[in-house]
Amino acid sequence: MLLIQILLILFFLFAIAKVVGRWQTKELTLGALVMWLLFWLCAGTVVLMPNLTSYFAKLVGIGRGADLVVYVSLAILFFVVFRLMVAVGRLRSDITRLTRQITLDTSNHGTTAQQHNSTATRQSF
Amino acid sequence: MLFVIVPVYNEAKNIGRVVRDLFQLQDGFRQIVKVNSDRLRNDFKVIVVDDGSVDDTAKVAREAGATVLRHAINRGQGAALQTGNEYARRHGAEYVIHFDGDGQFDVADIAPALEKLNKDNLDVVLGSRFLDNRSKLPWTKRYIVLPLARWIQNVLTGVTLTDVHNGFRVLNKRALEKIEITQDGMAHNTEIVSQIKKHELRFAETPVMVRYAEYGQGLSGGVKIMFDVLFSHLVK
């Protein structure tokens, strides 16, 4: 076994331990746990049996297994970046709505307080 | 009744003068919107939306007589305008004016715009720097940046305007109820034009003067606006 294979497998085991840990603390749903476990197990299989990628590469018409890994990784990364951008956009929009709500509520309270004060002043006369 | 919404961020140096100038001209506005002076005195409001400034903008604006709405954190000019619009809606505004707080606009342009809105039975009047020669634009803006931005906006919105990303607007109640700004940054300008078309609001342009103390949106700002507009078309 090559050194890089050992290092990668160790990293994948670490990642699996983190995923399971997050599921135990209920930060991940069961579905997400299964998806991530499958992902890291597939990655481990590819690292342990690199020829597998060549088999799949030929199946889809790509010359080398390494190329297939790069293409698939890029596609996944682009998808993840897109999902992140959408999520960040939603977060920003939520923060704005929250900021606005606080601003408008505060201004209403301010107005009410002013009205109370002026009423109190009028009554004292 | 008539609310001037001024979105600001770190404008302590200019906001006091802008607010005072606006209050000085309120009698002129009264004649145009034909209400008695007492009613307008109660109903004319300058709403400064302080978008999380770290200087004394809010204090200066309040001292000058404005009603100050303060965002706890900076959310962008579009977000500040929408906050102002919602406040105006809740307080029964019949007319809303969007006016920049950096002192680049001339308050004297408001009365003719209001008059146009009323006389021509319009819903929105948009300011344009290109309908007269009063604005001294940097030549890169006049001949490269703005024509390019104007062409892109016209293509994206399907509305042909002589200017682009001009912060001067007058809205009547119908427009105020229909227009919902979701673009927090500067792309709200294009979004507003899109919504004018979508809701079939009657609109026209009016000449306004812009004094350039700073360059304003540069090329990188323009690219960001374009990205925001395109991204918002792709993702709902």
The residue range of the domain holding B78 is: 2-234
In a domain, A1, yes or no: no
Question: Model confidence over A34-67: pLDDT tens digits?
Answer: 999 999 999 999 999 988 888 888 888 888 888 8
Hey, of A98, A103, A104, A115, which one would you mutate to test binding to chain B, going by the most B CBs within 10 A of its CB? A103
B76, B82, B235: residue with CB nearest A86: B235
Say yes or no for a CB contact (<8 Å) between B67 and A93: no
What tens digit of pLDDT does each residue of B27-84 get? Answer: 777 667 665 555 555 678 999 999 999 999 999 999 999 999 999 999 999 999 999 9
In which domain, by residue range, is A49 found? 8-116
User: Can you give the pTM of this predicted structure?
Assistant: 0.79
The answer to whether A106 contacts chain B (CB < 8 Å) is: yes
The confidence score (pLDDT) of residue A112 equals: 40
Q: How many residue contacts between A and B have a Cβ separation below 8 Å?
A: 43
Beta strand B169-172 with B95-98 is: antiparallel
Q: How confident is the model at residue A124 (pLDDT cuts 50, 70, 90)?
A: very low
Interface probe with A: pick from B74, B75, B182, most Cβ of A within 10 Å: B75
Radius of gyration of chain B (CA): 17
Q: What ipTM is given for this predicted complex?
A: 0.84
Residue A125: inside a domain, yes or no? no
The span from the CA of B72 to the CA of B132, in Å, is 39
Q: Hey, of A99, A105, A114, A118, which one would you mutate to test binding to chain B, going by the most B CBs within 10 A of its CB?
A: A99
Contact (CB, 8 A) for B7 and B49: yes
Residue A96, pLDDT score = 97
Q: Which of A85, A100, A108 sits opposite B79 (nearest CB)?
A: A100
pLDDT at A115: 42
A124 inside domain:
no
Distance from A99 to chain B by nearest Cα, in Å? 6
Q: How far is A104 from chain B (nearest CA, A)?
A: 7
Determine the pLDDT at residue B206: 96
Count how many domains chain A has.
1
Whole-number Å distance between alpha carbons of B20 and B100: 14
Which residues of chain B have a pLDDT value below 50?
none
Distance, CA of B78 to CA of B13 (rounded, Å): 22
Nearest CA in chain A to B73: A99
Residue A116 is predicted with a pLDDT of 42
Smallest Cα–Cα separation from B20: which of B57, B64, B61, B74? B64
- Contact in structure between B13 and B104 (CB atoms under 8 Å): no
- Spatial separation of the C-alpha atoms in residues B88 and A13, rounded to whole Å: 58
Q: Is residue A92 part of a domain?
A: yes
Q: What is the Cα–Cα distance from B86 to B49, expressed in whole angstroms?
A: 11
Judged by CB atoms closer than 8 Å, whether chains meet at A103 and B83 is answered as yes
3 state SS of B206: strand
Show residues of chain B in contact with A104, CB under 8 Å.
Answer: 69, 83, 86-87, 90
For residues A111-117, give the mean pLDDT.
43
CATH number at residue B105: 3.90.550.10
Query: Residues of A with CB below 8 A from B86's CB?
Result: 100, 104
pLDDT of the residue at B144: 85
- Residue A118 predicted with pLDDT over 90: no
Q: How sure is the predictor about A30, in pLDDT bands with cuts at 50, 70 and 90?
A: very high
Using the CB atoms, write b or e for B203-231: b if 16+ within 10 Å.
bebbbbbbeeeeebbeeeebeebbebbee
The model's confidence at residue A109, banded by pLDDT at 50, 70 and 90, is low
Number of domains in chain B: 1
Q: Is the pLDDT of residue A113 over 50?
A: no
CB contact under 8 A, A103 and B75: no
CB contact under 8 Å between A103 and B70, yes or no, is: yes
Q: Are A103 and B82 within 8 A, CB to CB? A: no
